[in-house]
Amino acid sequence: MLRTIFLLSLLFALSNASVQDFCVANLKRAETPAGYPCIRPIHVKATDFVFSGLGTPGNTTNIISAAVTPAFVAQFPGLNGLGLSTARLDLAPKGVIPMHTHPGASEVLYVLDGSITAGFVSSANAVYVQTLKPGQVMVFPQGLLHFQINAGKSSAAAIVTFNSASPGLQILDFALFANNLPTELVVGTTFLDATTVKKLKGVLGGTG
């Protein structure tokens, strides 16, 4: 009898549970595994659901000749709790987004301008590479290493979307050479020689 009453009470509670339309992030509070706390609805504005940063090309004057302009929850609070985000990629000639992974999301890339060679490596080490033209789309499954390279002689641009408001990012080259991981450990785990490792650490600002 008690079990029946409990189940009925649970069903009643679920049927009357309030459903939030949105949860605009309160960026002044700490992020949790479930996202940011919500701003009170009375303080939410239409501009919380608008982001204008993707209309301007990023600065590609850097070591990779590329730029990523993110519209993640930290830049676009209206995404909080919605399970999606977006970004703009700009690649100068010879520009590259190095091998990287998004631990928290799959990615869809839509080419706006130019030509981009993109690809990913599966957990079985199968390689999938395609050169994309404007209007073409490619998907990169969650957690897999992938890259984008400008395949043309002019600048290229793309929009990427993720099925997470905070997809995360780890760039393989930076993880190996842009920190204080000791050279001997990098040598032992990558089969590179110490001279090459130290050179790459010097280029990317690593130590050790």
Residue with tokens 């641009």: 157
Mean pLDDT value of segment 31-57 = 91
Give the pLDDT confidence score for residue 70 in this predicted structure: 94
3-state secondary structure (DSSP) of residue 148: strand
The 10s digit of each residue's pLDDT in 78-87 is: 999 999 999 9
- What are the structure tokens assigned to 47, written together? 């501009």
Binding site feature residues for Mn(2+): 100, 102, 107, 146
Cα 50 from Cα 61, distance rounded (Å): 28
**Residue list, annotated binding site:** 100, 102, 107, 146
> What's the pLDDT at 205?
87
Q: Note whether 83 and 72 are within 8 A (CB).
A: no
Whether the predicted pLDDT of 7 surpasses 80:
no
* Residue 3's pLDDT band (cuts 50, 70, 90): low
Q: What angle do CA 143, 149, 150 make, to 5 degrees?
A: 150
Model pLDDT, residue 16: 40
Q: What is the DSSP letter of 169?
A: -
**Segment 144-199, tens digit of pLDDT:** 999 999 999 999 999 999 998 888 899 999 988 998 999 999 999 988 999 998 98
11 confidence band (pLDDT: 50, 70, 90): very low
Enumerate the known binding-site residues for oxalate. 102, 107
Residue of 76, 194, 207, 89 whose CA lies nearest to 146: 89
Alpha helices by DSSP H, listed for the chain, are 2-15, 172-177, 183-190, 194-204
Burial of 8 (0-12, 13-18, 19+ CB in 10 A): exposed
CB-count exposure of residue 177 (10 Å: 0-12, 13-18, 19+): buried
